[in-house]
Amino acid sequence: MLGIILASHGDLVYGLRDTYSMVAGDLPENIKIISLRRDSDADTFKKEFHELVNGFRDISGLVVLTDLEGGTPYNTACTYFYDPEFKTETEVISGVNFPMLLEALESSESGLNAAGAAENIMNTARESIKKAGAVLEEDDEF
């Protein structure tokens, strides 16, 4: 099973958690969330992120979904991606949204490795962003 981390600035990851709970109940145990809070700093976040990663048991890979490429959550996650001492296959993806979270869960449950899950998550991200005028017809009713 994959370990999945949702990491963001502020309350975004808590909103994703709350949205998931409305749709499907509590997040599974293989998903953990962490947020860089306004009253925190990068060093504290890095320490908490490290503790979160070390809290996983028996995972086959790690997928980290972050809010913003280049931000502290993303950069912190990338230290695991580039660390040759960290032996768990790791993928880091920015731009997290709710469909990406659902795909991460589905990919984990289907037994995909981190790279396969990341590919599916990226495809879902591309497919989930729509401009209303591009898909609606004038006679569509709501």
User: What is the CATH number for 21?
Assistant: 3.40.50.510
Per-chain mean pLDDT for the chain? 94
- CA dist 105 and 103 (Å) reads 5
SS3 state of residue 52: helix
Q: How far is CA 115 from the centre of its chain?
A: 14
Residue (of 63, 66, 57) closest to 9 by Cα position: 66
- Residue pointed to by tokens 């289907």: 110
Instruction: Classify burial at 133, counting beta carbons within 10 Å of its beta carbon; exposed 0-12, middle 13-18, buried 19 or more.
Output: exposed
Count how many domains the chain has: 1
Quote the pLDDT of residue 137: 64
The parent domain of residue 6 ranges over 2-139
This prediction has a pTM of 0.91
Quote the pLDDT of residue 135: 62
Which residues of the chain fall below pLDDT 70? 134-142
- Residue pointed to by tokens 């320490």: 47
Quote the pLDDT of residue 29: 94
Quote the pLDDT of residue 136: 64
- CA dist 101 and 16 (Å) reads 8
